[in-house]
Structure 1
């Protein structure tokens, strides 16, 4: 049987100075706090006070080209969370690491080490790097095509999982003579398209079996990878019907791979901007982008999302044609954000003026009063469309404290989130299956 339904899962992104491009310039903050260890520590402490399940750091090992925006990626997530784990209890640490520019054995060892140190609180966010600037930092070879990157990612993840389970946890009672043998520390003897690894890993099985795995993808290859390997799936989903459809696609692919779809947790991104009134929240939204009114926000949004392909004379009050948002499964850049725009435009007759209040940074935007934000969170969760949300805070760390004060109590009053942490590991808390005790997936009937 699949695990019982979980509480509303809350994750919060701790990237840089916040999700807003100009968060570095927010009044009362240090512009360069993205290189201050105490900034991340305070953010994680506030997330813990709000009983968030997860703190999340994405990664992109290249300096971005836009030097007017906060540098969204700086510190190495594994090193950062090693320090945070020693100072902040209970909460899960979701860190991003690329399958394109790592070696399986070294990454498996680092993450297994952190999982032991933290008491079973690590989540590995699997990404297949798509930026040629990253490729240029790792050698002269060009960025591989999407199909090759996903084949490598599939082999990489399976190999890391095998390594994580290759040395049984030593017993508390000391052995008579041998500390391990071929029955407890097993070679994996992997020979594949991209990797040859003998094993076993020299870190034994961790407190939660092995780290939780997350993945984000909207292309056919991305959904298949998530359905085959992930416990948590992140996504850009702007319309509830799209979330239901996405979950159905995950379910179908999970069954193909012999997995129980009930073992997957779907957490789309949600950017939150709060105000005592909706009008106040709207003014805050505009100010975050350096504008004093809605027209500037619209122009900026259209430029950022269409750039040189911006249709001439686009009417901000005329419904958008879904055909404006085009993608193909073979493109180098991620499919998810563009696809989510097209799905929203197809589901509703939405205008650019309305769209700027529904989307922020490629994710769904909840801008309004605390009650309005709590209601939209509860609506999607209670319907079963999602298992929770990855919350993006425009300005860190104070935005987390604001969410704790105004939204978390409403979610608790609805019985959606707990008042404290339970379970000794993250898998126990999220009711995820222990990888040491797999069970067959249910039949399609």
Structure 2
């Protein structure tokens, strides 16, 4: 078993609705590079494997929460990598609104410059507001977005391995030839790319690929390409089912399921006591008490699940059929499916559910003391359900500092998490194989001339 892996989300001011204007904080810190650099420094002090920055190239319509997506992640990490050693970076970039060669070059450059610290989180954008920022064409349907993502990733991987790393003695002949710099000659349904890439193979072969598939198409895409899967998983039974489905599809694509690491999202709300943690969760969401927090959850769920009745009793079990995903829904299918499955499995009430997913109804949340949070993480990892977690915290920097000074030391004392960075690359930390350049291909015309 590989060791426990942890990443922390540092986009925006925290996952709490009121985090941006929390007393004692700089309200507009989401637009301050020093805030993100300090986040990375705090994470590094806890030997966190990587910081995670999601990205939607569109301004959120909800003006009551701080924007979570501000700086371009590639530019942000370029600045952080030069200022903060060791820490990895989960960098979100779109396969829908990018060009394969351009993105492959940027990420390969960052990976080499940082010494192998890049994880590419592939997204097939689902927000029509993003489409509107890239032209007049409407957002492609889900099937088309995934079809493009599949071929896009295929092209990028070929490019990443197309020019071997220059090593050894000075060549007697040309700097490169057809055996070391190979055209990829990709001619697919959507892309025609000759190659090779003008950045050599990097220190970890190529950046680690992450994907967040929850729908059947998403799981198939992850099984074909992903090395880390960031998904909405609300129970250990769901995790086991998801891993089995992922492994089955990986075999279909000629891969081993053992080469894929499941790293679900995990919201963490800390308090000196469990009751204090509950009150903190309520306060950071702008809810006066638990009833108000439940009301927020039900409002959010009704927006995304039209079958949910208006008169739900917060203390009676929810019905799984109210949470049925459709192929044309805007919200990611994985979130809806996770809710359906955990409600069917555990007969959760809305009151119990809000402590499991928070009022946003997304990733799993654990609310409690540092010991309770650490025990939960250890339980999931030691049981083989997950490789680790991508941790979301309600208030940055306060909760990030508390996580690395109060939760991580417990994990280290239990012997499940390192006290220092033992591997320089992300692949080394996650125990992932290094991809080898593929021989063959063709030389560019006059490749070795001039």
Q: TM-score range by the shorter chain?
A: over 0.9
Whole-Å separation in 2 of the counterparts to 1:12 and 1:159: 29
Counterpart of 2:283 in structure 1 is 287
Do residues 349 (structure 1) and 383 (structure 2) align?
no
Whole-Å separation in 1 of the counterparts to 2:326 and 2:242: 17
Whole-Å separation in 2 of the counterparts to 1:411 and 1:45: 19
Do residues 210 (structure 1) and 206 (structure 2) align?
yes
* 1:145–1:332 Cα contact (<8 Å) kept: no
* 2:263–2:387 Cα contact (<8 Å) kept: yes
Counterpart of 1:71 in structure 2 is 67
Counterpart of 2:14 in structure 1 is 18
Distance 1:351 1:376, change over 3 A: same
Question: Number of residue pairs matched?
Answer: 434
Choose which of 205, 218, 222 in structure 2 pairs with 1:222.
218
Counterpart of 1:107 in structure 2 is 103
Counterpart of 1:339 in structure 2 is 337
Which stretches in structure 2 are left out of the alignment for 5+ residues? 439-450
Whole-Å separation in 2 of the counterparts to 1:173 and 1:32: 52
Please, what is the CA RMSD of the aligned residues? 1.2
Q: Deviations over 1:309-368 (max 9, x none)?
A: 451221110010011111124544310111111111101121111111110340101001
Q: Deviations over 1:78-132 (max 9, x none)?
A: 0000010011111211100000000000000000000011001111000101111
Q: Deviations over 1:196-232 (max 9, x none)?
A: 1110000011011100000001101100111111110
Counterpart of 1:86 in structure 2 is 82
Counterpart of 1:325 in structure 2 is 323
Whole-Å separation in 1 of the counterparts to 2:55 and 2:321: 31
Choose which of 228, 237, 240 in structure 1 pairs with 2:236.
240
Counterpart of 1:443 in structure 2 is none
Which stretches in structure 1 are left out of the alignment for 5+ residues? 439-445
Using the TM superposition, name which of 352-361 and 243-252 deviates more: 352-361
Counterpart of 2:49 in structure 1 is 53
Whole-Å separation in 2 of the counterparts to 1:133 and 1:147: 19
Pairs within 5 Å for 1:412-431 = 412-431=412-431
Choose which of 269, 274, 284 in structure 1 pairs with 2:270.
274
Whole-Å separation in 1 of the counterparts to 2:414 and 2:396: 26
Pairs within 5 Å for 1:395-406 = 395-406=395-406
Runs of 4+ in 1 over 6 A off after TM superposition: none
* 1:147–1:330 Cα contact (<8 Å) kept: no
Using the TM superposition, name which of 327-336 and 45-54 deviates more: 327-336
* 1:220–1:329 Cα contact (<8 Å) kept: no
Choose which of 110, 116, 120 in structure 1 pairs with 2:116.
120
Pairs within 5 Å for 1:183-202 = 183-202=179-198
Whole-Å separation in 1 of the counterparts to 2:159 and 2:437: 16
Q: Deviations over 1:370-410 (max 9, x none)?
A: 11111111111110000000000111122111011211111
Whole-Å separation in 2 of the counterparts to 1:423 and 1:354: 40
Counterpart of 2:435 in structure 1 is 435
Counterpart of 1:442 in structure 2 is none
* 1:112–1:210 Cα contact (<8 Å) kept: yes
Whole-Å separation in 2 of the counterparts to 1:149 and 1:204: 29
